[in-house]
Amino acid sequence: DWQVRSVAELVLDPGPDTDQTGRGLPIDFAEARALYEKAAARGDTHAMNNLGRVYRDGDVVPADRDKAIYWFLASAANGNSYAYNNLGYMLLDEGDTESALPLFEQAAAAGDIYGHNNLGHVYQNGIGVDQDVSRAIEHYEAAAEGGQPNAPINLGFIYRDGAPGVAPDLHRAAF
């Protein structure tokens, strides 16, 4: 239910004052979580994904890895590719590259720009895979074309500094 999820996002929207939202409302973490849970119970996959993030990050409620995984998987099972990426990011951050990589691949295959960016990072740095800068560039380009904000920066560094198999190219660095 997108209306309920939207209200949850409003009560978490940080403004210039850390005690208030960007709309001048007091930040109410408990209310936001309750609204996300209500929307998730109605099948809203974005709310499910956001609950995964809430439990992963521990900003709204105490971090709970099992609940984060539950909500990411529920969201992904209902078609939200962002959830694959978010779960992969959590697992990569925990050092579980073997489990994270297929999740990034699933997200990217579904067109998720963050999944593409994370695959670019993995291949650029050889994290759990053989380093492959060409594949990293392919994923960064897909992410950049989709509007992922960090991908052009990542490409710029590769072209500015050079990388295995890629000579520095300041013209391309200005992507």
**Which residue stretches of 1-150 are H helix?**
2-12, 29-41, 45-57, 65-77, 81-93, 97-109, 113-125, 133-146
Q: Which position has the higher pLDDT, 143 or 14?
A: 143
Alpha-carbon distance 29 to 51, whole Å? 12
Strand-pair partners of 174: none
pLDDT band of residue 36 (cuts 50, 70, 90) is confident
| Residue 24, C-beta contacts closer than 8 angstroms, at least 6 positions apart | 15
**Which residues have CB under 8 Å from 135's CB, separation 6+?**
119, 120, 123
State the DSSP H helix or E strand holding residue 151, giving kind and residue range, or none if neither: helix 151-161
CA distance 123 to 100: 13
Tens of pLDDT along 112-166?
999 999 999 999 999 999 999 999 999 999 999 999 999 999 999 999 999 999 9
Three-class secondary structure of residue 163 per DSSP:
strand
First to last CA, the chain: 39
31-40, 84-93, 104-113: lowest mean pLDDT where? 31-40
**75 or 9: whose pLDDT is higher?**
75
The burial of 17, by beta-carbon neighbours within 10 Å (0-12 exposed, 13-18 middle, 19 or more buried), is given as exposed
> Could you tell me which residues come within 8 angstroms of residue 169 by beta carbon, excluding any fewer than 6 positions away?
159, 162
